[in-house]
Amino acid sequence: MEQLKSFFNGKSIKNILDIGTGAGDFVKVLDDTFGDSVAIVGTDPGEQWLKEARERFPKEHIQFIRMEGEKLGFNDDSFDVVSISNALHHLKDIEQGFSEMKRVLKPNGWVVINEISDGDLNEAQENQKMLHHFKSFVDRLHGISHKKTWTKEEIVDIVKENGVDVQLSFPHEKMKKANFDEVFLDERYQMMENLLEELQGRPEHEKMADKLALFRERLDKHGFQMATQLMVVGQFT
């Protein structure tokens, strides 16, 4: 990613920790940005994600380890960069997450936060937000921490409130335009249908069933596009 590349140009970066790495989508961004000479460790509590990530990145300088962002099993002052992409809103304890990032970062290390954002979304992106909010609603009913999409201002505020001096922030698009491919749209619809299935027998089912019908209509009309993401880079003060 060009903005990240030029920001880190000339800075000595030897290793990166990516928290909440999932199947490694952000590891791909980091690997493309920093290259093979920088070691990357991706961590996530979900073993099924890590299995997928390991298969995607059979590279010596990249490894994946199971752990939660609030309890990192690394020594103090271990990494030059700590990143967390689309996972901050999954943390049970955001403050503790930041405190762990600060602990494992080397002095003057860099924190990179990437988050999907709300505000100024087109209709196709509103569809992604709708699916995200449906998923976060169902997760919360199951007792799993999963917050709604924050606005760009809220993301920056959270980062600053947790002691980070923000030095770079920019919005970017993972998908440049709405996708209208039938199979792709059917898969998104299926995801919401599966989530609704999990609500069978609960009082919330009826209200959410209405959302499913609306989602189908909106998908056919507007397509589906990832919401704009906000990249924030800074250092702990």
Ligand X SMILES: C[S@@+](CC[C@H](N)C(=O)[O-])C[C@H]1O[C@@H](n2cnc3c(N)ncnc32)[C@H](O)[C@@H]1O
Please report, as ranges, the residues that interact with ligand X according to CB under 6 A. Answer: 19-22, 25-26, 44-46, 49, 68-70, 85-87, 90-92
Nearest residue to the partner ligand X, using Cβ: 22
Which CB atom, from 56 or from 216, has the smaller least distance to ligand X? 56
Pair 117, 151: CB distance under 8 Å: yes
For residue 90, CA distances in Å to 11, 17, 101 come to: 30, 17, 15
Nearest distance in Å: CB 82, ligand X: 12
**Dist CA 224 CA 180 (whole Å):** 7
CB count in 10 Å sphere of residue 63: 15
Nearest distance in Å: CB 111, ligand X: 14
**Dist CA 87 CA 91 (whole Å):** 7
Which CB atom, from 25 or from 216, has the smaller least distance to ligand X? 25
Which helix (H) or strand (E) is 108 found in, with range?
strand 105-118
Which CB atom, from 90 or from 109, has the smaller least distance to ligand X? 90
Which CB atom, from 92 or from 207, has the smaller least distance to ligand X? 92
Nearest distance in Å: CB 46, ligand X: 4
- At 42, give phi and psi (nearest 5°): -100, 135
Nearest distance in Å: CB 203, ligand X: 27
Nearest C-alpha neighbor of 14 from the set 95, 85, 78:
78
**Dist CA 67 CA 47 (whole Å):** 9
Which CB atom, from 22 or from 234, has the smaller least distance to ligand X? 22
Nearest distance in Å: CB 154, ligand X: 17
C-alpha angle 216/222/226, rounded to 5°?
95
Which CB atom, from 59 or from 205, has the smaller least distance to ligand X? 59
Nearest distance in Å: CB 47, ligand X: 10
Which CB atom, from 190 or from 209, has the smaller least distance to ligand X? 190
15-19/79-85 β-pairing? parallel
**Dist CA 143 CA 120 (whole Å):** 30
Nearest distance in Å: CB 71, ligand X: 9
Nearest C-alpha neighbor of 173 from the set 3, 56, 18, 40:
3
